[in-house]
Structure 1
Amino acid sequence: MHRLTWVQPEDLLGHELRQATQDGRQPSAIAARWKAAGGKEAPLRAGASPEPATSYLRHLANDLLDELSDLPSTLAESEPTPLAAIKATCPDWPTPPPAPTAPPTHAALEAAWLGRAAGCLLGKPVEKLPLNAIRRLAKSTGNWPLTTYFTAKGVPQDLLTAHPWNRRSAPTSLAENIDGMPEDDDLNYPLLNLLLLQRHGRTFTTTDVATLWLEELPAGRTFTAERIAYRNLLLGLNPPRTARHRNPFREWIGALIRADVHGWTNPGDPAAAAEQAHRDATLTHTANGVYAAMFIAATIAHAATGTADIHTCLRTGLTVIPPHSRLATALTHGIRLAHDHEDFDTVVDELHATYADTHHWVHAIPNTALIAAALAHAHGDFTGSVCRAVSGGWDTDSNGATAGSIAGLLTGTPEGLPDRWTAPLKNRLSTTVGDFDGSGFDTLAHLTLVEATRP
């Protein structure tokens, strides 16, 4: 029997038990009841369980999910979700610029869109693979440290059997197969946010985001927290409850991958970018899941001035998230490792030693720390940034996309990106969002510039 992933109560319960432990709840008694009834833990690298649960276990899982949501959190004060409470924890919250900052150039925005696509494409064939598999596959073709797209040419068959490529992505993302940018949620969400600004401007609400999704985003193109929130909308729930109700993925990476447009369209105003990202993110996420989006939006807003270096941009991003949050701790750790170690594999190994046994591979905390470490270690260089982000494993396509967006923006022109990354894209993007299918990255840059210059 075919099973839909991410929405079965018996699968959600295992993830919620882990999430509850991470966000300062005490779920041990509920975990013991689940285990005694025959319930399973949620694997760190899997989606749905292989077989459906019994009716009894499914009903029990629903009951326990509700009990878990009622448990108090010891981290509630240091990791709030409402914007006013977040600001209250941030002593260095940025002040608005005294005068509007010039928007990024069309060339810089085109480089950012291209960088996002190329970084995503680099990570697609190895998404979901463990770190050792990524390294073995790349080394087998002489592409380690990474310098270009993955290829199956020259990979021994026994290695491919042991570590198969991502089956959905390999036909369109291995070097020998690339023919334009295939559809991916890491590009769909920036397109949706472009539509959002076209329809509602900078004063959009979280409800506007929800309405746009129901009108323009096919449910089958959503994953993890986004799919749960989408389901909750259809059940009649309103934001921000859509992010909390039976949603164990509320601190995963989904909101982060939606943040770029908020940064691109608020050059020099990281606070405004972070506030837009917050209104977007709270449809689906809470606490660190929201902070990750705010951090990226503020980082990009500073990069969009065209005068900043990556290290200043990352420091700016840290000013909009609670300094005592788990994400701030992870980001500081990742950036420090990047400064302390010449070999990036050592940085990655340290991050995995810290987070791999406790966090799912799609969780925002380790992935955002890896993105920041990759950018810092490469000093914002495009190839160095995307290759480090992807070589670190976890959510490889999302990490490559975000690192590529930021590094591309800093590069400033499409010509500044090596041809081996951009030529296979053929200035063409596939998507099911709006009327964007087949759009060129130059067109997307123009549309983004229009929103960046809108009063």
Structure 2
Amino acid sequence: MQPRTPAPGTPSAPFPYAGAHPRGRAPLGGPSEFDALRLTWVQPEDLVGHELRQAAEDGRDAEGVRRRWLAAGGRTAPERAGASPAAVDPRLRELAVRLLDELAILPSPLAANEPGDLSGIRAACPEWPTTISRESPSREPLSRGAMSPWPTGANLATAWPQGGGAAEVRRRAPWAGVSGPAARGATPSTGTWPTALWRKNRAGATGAGSSALLPRLHAAWLGRAVGCLLGKPVEKLPLPAIRALARATGNWPLRTWFTGRGLPADLAARHPWNRRSAPTSLAENINGMPEDDDLNYPLLNLLLLQRYGRDFSTTDVARLWLDELPAGRTFTAERVAYRNLLDGIEPPHTATHRNPFREWIGAQIRADVHGWTHPGDPAAAAGQAYRDATLTHTANGVYGAMFVAAALAEAAGGTTDVHTCLRTGLSVVPPDSRLAHAVRFGIDAAQSGTGDFDQVVDELHAAYGQHHWVHVLPNAALLAAALTHADGDFTGSVCRAVSGGWDTDSNGATAGSLAGLIAGSPAAIPPRWTAPLRNRLATSVAALDGIGFDTLAALTAQEAVHP
């Protein structure tokens, strides 16, 4: 969702504080020689504008609060930046805090159609899928034996990063307990793999359905990375700028990585790339997958399942974040919830206390592992996504996570029809909710158009352009439209999702995840997408920096078999 700031001291670090606004000279209640940090997504004077916008979308009557705020000198919310450029008078900040609390108690006329508890959500969904027993033969559970063959090139003896988080992953890895030469043996055909375990697995494989899960998950991890990376250089750019940049380099309709080569200087100056991401995400610069929260959260949720199991609680998610997630790597609702945790506020109130971003896209980008580890069981995937999402989000923000988790679970179970996957995703979303309307709108727009996806996108922006570019509703509509229009094709899915604007890297990531599962294996994804990733993911989470996507696929497959 937000591009990562490289670590201080690296050549591409634009300024020294992760998530900070460029340092200004505005005073913060003190002498003018102090620099203002302007940490994004938490300044009360900025949150009020976002909460007023959310209140209007909810149908809450906040006109009186709005007038008082503007009369006192308050501003509307920043359109794209995470913080306004200068600090305000402390008295205005105090007013902002009071008004946020007043806005929180205003009733919404839409609440009856958008239940908040899981039992209410299930009751509102007439087509809620049946939960499948993990012992059911119809589910074809993945045995430990079905996790071979290991993807080519994984070096288990040397590839692991060092540190506590990596050590924990190693303890739960499929080669745990295999040591000595066997742990470094090579298979006849697949490169390095613990030979003894490989032979055992080949003998114990349970069938084509389960043995296909590992390559599916490998393709899903790669697809998520590809889609995210494709969208990173144009994140935050308005739709006309994205189209102009791609057209100027002969890449429209979008079909490959963005590039600055051959771009006219005046156009580059008029529509600059995302300054944090361009050094690592333009075609000429890609060298592995750079850090991004769209990949950090799947890593965290893999650790979540390893540490707490599939019956984790929302409080367990909070504990894991405090242990493993740097606060500066959070944004929007996640940053507010993190701040609330540090203030002693318990889940689920972390999602509602002074959090105007609770129906934005953050929970949706955290949902993939919940779907990947419940192949063929969308109900269980949605329930797991709910427990994760309610740390930070409510209503449509939660539904977005459940929708994605269920759709991915359907694809992870072997469904190769993207339209079936989307219908399954909708089955866990209250049908009268705004999220359900947005998804259906996107699907209908893609199916009823002339075939030109630009026209589909224009229709979506006409309907949802009033929302913030990180809000879940426009992005869910675009995601559904892109996947529908591409009809399961990998390149078409990620390129359409990114070319539609809004939260480009997040939409590309989710589209790539689902399209990767449908593709079925890394070999089915064109190498122009996967080769630049170099089987390497950068992250600041749990000492996992540099981990390979093949390793991640195997660890994810292991969690899919745990009871």
Report the TM-score, using the length of structure 1 for normalisation. 0.99
CA distance in 2, matches of 1:387, 1:307: 22
2:203 aligned residue: none
> Higher helix share goes to which structure?
1
The residue aligned with 2:373 is: 265
| Match status 1:159 vs 2:272 | no
Q: What's 1:146 paired with?
A: 254
Aligned with residue 349 of structure 1, among 458, 461, 476: 458
Partner of 1:38: 73
Alignment of 1:166-181 (within 5 A): 166-181=274-289
Structure 1 gaps of 5+ residues are none
In structure 2, the residue matched to 1:385 is 493
Match for 2:89: what amino acid? Answer: T
SS at match of 1:183: coil
- Which residue number corresponds to residue 47 of structure 2? 12
For residues 305 and 350 of structure 1, the distance between their equivalents in structure 2, rounded to whole angstroms, comes to 33
- Which residue identity lines up with residue 281 of structure 1 in the other structure? A
Deviation digits for residues 203-260 of structure 1 (CA, Å, limit 9, x no counterpart)? 0000000000000000000000000000000000011100000000000000000000
Q: Which amino acid aligns with 2:461?
A: H
CA contact (8 A) 1:16 1:65 kept: yes
Measured after TM superposition, the shift of residue 81 of structure 1 is 1.4
Aligned twin of 1:315: 423
Whole-Å separation in 1 of the counterparts to 2:382 and 2:102: 32
Aligned residue number for residue 57 of structure 1: 92
Secondary structure of the residue aligned to 2:37 is coil
Q: 1:76 aligns with which of 111, 116, 120?
A: 111
Separation in 1, partners of 2:292, 2:445: 31
SS at match of 1:203: coil
Q: Distance in 2 between matches of 1:239 and 1:112?
A: 30
Aligned to 1:108: 216
Q: Given that residues 255 and 290 in structure 1 are in contact (C-alpha distance below 8 angstroms), is that contact kept between their aligned partners in structure 2?
A: yes
Name 2:521's counterpart in structure 1: 413
Q: Determine the C-alpha separation between the residues in 2 that align with 1:14 and 1:444.
A: 40
Residue 365 of structure 2 is aligned to residue 330 of structure 1: no
Equivalents in 1 of 2:223, 2:472: separation in Å? 21
Q: Distance in 2 between matches of 1:302 and 1:410?
A: 10
Deviations 1:285-327 (A, max 9, x none): 0000000000000000001111341000000100101100011
Query: In the aligned structure 2, how far is the partner of 1:424 from the partner of 1:382?
Result: 16
Partners of 2:100 and 2:288 in 1: CA distance: 42
Shift of 1:262: 0.3
- Higher Rg: 2
Which amino acid is 2:429 matched to?
A: I
Q: Deviations over 1:369-397 (max 9, x none)?
A: 11111001000110000000000000000
Question: Post-superposition, which runs of at least 4 consecutive aligned residues in structure 1 deviate over 3 A?
Answer: none
Is 245-254 or 90-99 further displaced after alignment? Answer: 90-99
Work out the CA distance in 2 between the residues paired with 1:30 and 1:87. 35
Structure 2 matches for 1:366-405, cutoff 5 A?
366-405=474-513
In structure 2, what is the Cα distance between the partners aligned to 1:265 and 1:71?
39
Aligned ranges for residues 144-293 of structure 1 at < 5 Å?
144-293=252-401
1:128 lines up with 2:236 in the alignment: yes
Cα shift readout 1:142-189 (whole Å, capped 9, x = no counterpart): 000011100000000100100000000000000000000000000000
Out of 505, 521, 539, the position equivalent to 1:431 is 539
How high is the sequence identity, in percent, across the aligned residues?
A: 71
How far does residue 422 in structure 1 lie from its aligned partner after superposition?
0.3
- The CA deviation string for residues 16-67 of structure 1, in whole angstroms up to 9 with x for no partner, is 0001111231111100110111111113323211211111110000000000
- Asked if the contact 2:446–2:481 (Cα under 8 Å) also holds between the matched residues in 1, the reply is yes
2:457 is the alignment partner of 1:422: no
CA contact (8 A) 1:429 1:438 kept: yes
Distance (Å, rounded) in 2 between the aligned partners of 1:298 and 1:96:
11
Cα distance in 2 for partners of 1:72, 1:337 equals: 32
Find the residue that maps to 2:430 and give its secondary structure: coil
Matching of residue 28 in structure 1 with residue 60 in structure 2: no
Q: Which amino acid aligns with 2:455?
A: T
SS at match of 2:113: coil
Q: Give the secondary structure class of the aligned counterpart of 2:546.
A: coil
The answer to whether the 8 A contact 2:351-2:358 is kept is yes
Amino acid at match of 1:27: A
Shift of 1:97: 2.9
Kept in 1: contact 2:286–2:533 (CA 8 A): yes
The answer to whether the 8 A contact 1:385-1:404 is kept is yes
2: CA distance, partners of 1:371 / 1:216: 30
Q: Secondary structure at the match of 1:146?
A: coil
Partner of 2:123: 88
Q: Which runs of 5+ in 2 are unaligned?
A: 1-35, 143-211
Q: Which moved more, 1:84-93 or 1:270-279?
A: 84-93
1:47 is paired with a residue whose SS is coil
SS of match in other structure, 2:111: coil
**Deviation at 1:434?**
1.2
Aligned equivalents of 1:51, 1:89: Cα separation in 2: 45
Deviation of 1:106 after TM superposition, in Å, equals 1.1
Which residue identity is paired with 2:475? N
Quote the Cα distance in structure 2 between the aligned partners of 1:2 and 1:64. 23
Given residue 409 of structure 2, which amino acid in structure 1 is its aligned partner?
A
CA distance in structure 2 between the aligned counterparts of 1:54 and 1:87, rounded to whole angstroms = 47
Aligned to 2:31: none
CA contact (8 A) 1:44 1:359 kept: no
The alpha carbon displacement at 1:2 in A equals 2.8
For 1:154 and 1:95, how far apart are their aligned partners in 2? 54
Root mean square deviation of aligned Cα: 0.9
1:72 Cα offset (Å) = 1.1
CA distance in 2, matches of 1:137, 1:382: 22
Cα pair 2:288 2:532 within 8 Å, conserved: yes
The answer to whether the 8 Å contact 2:41/2:47 transfers is yes
In 1, the alpha carbon distance for the partners of 2:457 and 2:329 equals 30
What is the letter of the counterpart of residue 70 of structure 2? K
* Paired AA for residue 272 in structure 2: P
* Aligned-partner SS, 1:279: helix
CA distance in structure 2 between the partners assigned to 1:29 and 1:362 by the alignment: 26
Residue 411 of structure 1 contacts residue 417 of structure 1 at CA under 8 Å; is this kept in 2? yes
Q: What are the Cα deviations for residues 62-111 of structure 1, in whole angstroms up to 9, with x where unaligned? A: 00000000111111111121111111111111112362523452111100
SS in 2 for 1:353: helix
TM-score of the superposed pair, with normalisation by structure 2: 0.80
Structure 2 CA distance for aligned equivalents of residues 91 and 45 of structure 1 = 38
Whole-Å Cα distance in 1 between the matches of residues 95 and 554 of structure 2? 52
In the alignment, residue 82 of structure 1 is paired with which amino acid?
A: D
The answer to whether the Cα contact below 8 Å between 2:415 and 2:421 also exists between their aligned partners in 1 is: no
